[in-house]
Amino acid sequence: MSVLSAVEQKLTLLKLGRLRAVVARAVAQAEAQQLGYGEFLDELLAEELLGRHEHQIRRKLQQAGFPYAATLEQFDWQARPELKRAVMMRYFDSALVEKAGGLILIGPSGVGKTHLAIAVGTRMVQLGYSVRFLTAQQLANQVLAAPSRAAVAEVLQPLLRCHVLILDEFGYLSIDPQLGPALYELVSGRYGKGATVITSNKSLTTWGEVVGGDTALMMAMLDRLLHHGEVFYLRGASYRLRGKEPVVLSDTARPPSNAPMRAAHDTPAPPLLGTISAPEGR
């Protein structure tokens, strides 16, 4: 057995698959470049660290539960001129987690809300943070299926602990009023501790209707979400319908008349609901 074969066998026993895959090439490169033992060992260890980092990212992406892959580079900014790329880039930085920030994306179906949310989550995973993605209906199903208060707590725990929580499609379907307290517990429990991203087709002023008309509860949630958060309204036709006959539907996600398009200008906006004070730093 050659020395290289013996090394590969030992790497297999040590479960260092990444090094086993590159060791032959690394040896040949070291001989060609006349690398010293220290330099050769350093390159091998760097390769192993890179492999472990890539494996960790793949594992965290799988745990996040994204329905599909989406990145910032894939987003069509020209189709959404109301969004300023430079402004949105603030949410692709570790500051989102460090400041326990919030991001609310509102607009009709097909304008890219979920794409942006997944892209933010993917970037946070790449930065080393834990992310959880689920739809509002998935959360409702899990909470309502819980047989006891302790079981509800078990459902909420991983969503409270993660660095970034993405709640998708809030308002697309009516939610049982019993979910309201669990939603409040989730939002208040993450307040000041973790970043939260929410996508919705409903204007903020109608969010109370989503949980059975409990406006007071929803106001308390929005107060926490907006304290360190921002709201962006996306407009336009669905990208899924490009090239097809236009379908005319009522725009349920049109922003209130007294609320300017927050994404169009990087300037402070007035409160979207009368009793909610403007978030700090806006």
Domain CATH number, residue 152: 3.40.50.300
**Distance of alpha carbon 146 from the chain centroid:** 25
pTM given for the model: 0.75
How many domains is the chain partitioned into structurally? 2
> What's the rounded Cα separation, in Å, for the pair 107 and 247?
16
- Residue at a domain's end among 43, 63, 83: 63
The tokens of 79 are what? 């189709």
**Residue 46 domain boundaries:** 3-63
Q: Which of 13, 43, 63 is the last residue of a domain?
A: 63
- Is residue 100 located within the same domain as residue 7? no
Within a domain: residue 202?
A: yes
pLDDT of residue 4: 85
| Whether residues 49 and 168 fall in one domain | no
In the chain (282 residues long), the average pLDDT of successive 10-residue segments reads 83 83 87 88 87 90 96 90 90 95 94 96 96 96 94 96 97 82 94 96 88 85 93 83 59 47 38 36 34
**Is the dihedral angle over the CA atoms 120, 124, 127, 132 positive or is it negative?**
negative
Q: Would you state the pLDDT for residue 174?
A: 74
Q: Are residues 54 and 125 in the same domain?
A: no
**Per-residue pLDDT at 244:** 64
Instruction: Find out whether 104 and 198 touch, Cβ atoms under 8 Å.
Output: yes
What is the structure's pLDDT at 53? 87
- Residue 70 counted as domain residue: yes
Whether 25 and 161 map to the same domain: the answer is no
Tell me, yes or no, whether 129 lies in a domain: yes
| The pair of three-digit structure tokens given for residue 167, joined into one six-digit string | 């709640």
Q: What are phi and psi of 177, to 5 degrees?
A: -55, -25
Whether residues 107 and 72 share a domain: the answer is yes
Same domain assignment for residues 33 and 89: no
81 with 8, same domain: the answer is: no
Whether the Cβ atoms of residue 230 and residue 262 lie closer than 8 Å to each other: yes
- Write down the pLDDT at residue 132: 98
> Are residues 97 and 46 both part of a single domain?
no
* Alpha-carbon distances of 18 from 3, 50, 61, 128, 222, rounded to whole Å: 18, 9, 20, 21, 47
Same domain for 172 and 49: no
